[in-house]
Amino acid sequence: MATAEATVEDVPKKRSKKPVLIGFALALIFGGGGFYATFSGLILGHGEAEAKAEHGPGPLTGIAFVPLETIVVSLAPDSGSRHLRFTAQLEVVDTAAADVTTLTPRILDVINSYLRAIDTASIEDPHAMARLRAQMLRRIQVVTGEGRVRDLLITEFVLN
């Protein structure tokens, strides 16, 4: 009989499911409250974004584009192509557009010198476009001065 009592005492008691159910109910309540607060615009300004979307985007201000002349660079005889045709536009601060236009010959000189100096394999690599663009933009920003040129937009880059 002593062994029967020992086996009954060795059996662990079942845990209550009450804390799990309370935790699940609280998670649902707080999750629903968070969704409502975000969706209604109480958090993160969702209502403001919808109001702006209804009225459309605001006017573009402070931007001007300065077109650059087309540059044709002859490539090395060992390359697969003979010429590179390059055309771009500069995104500038609108108040600096006249200054950048005045410096266009110097900008073309810097770009032309850079494109002639780099290795032909770098030009022919399709993954190198971002690096080439960043290098040319930095050189242009040095020529024009900080804060005038925002970006270099390559509109034509043709190897033939």
Task: Render pLDDT for 67-79 as a digit per residue (tens, 0 to 9).
Answer: 999 999 988 777 7
- Lookup: tokens for 144: 């024009």
Contacts of 18 (CB under 8 A, 6+ apart): none
- pTM attached to this predicted model: 0.63
The confidence score (pLDDT) of residue 5 equals 59
Confidence band of 131 (pLDDT split at 50, 70, 90): very high
pLDDT at 51: 58
Q: Is 77 helix (H, G, I), strand (E, B) or coil?
A: coil
Please state the domain extents for the chain. Answer: 2-55, 63-159
Give residue-wise pLDDT tens across range 17-43: 898 899 999 999 999 988 888 887 777
Tell which CATH classification among 1.20.120, 2.60.220, 1.10.10, 3.30.479 matches the domain 63-159. Answer: 3.30.479
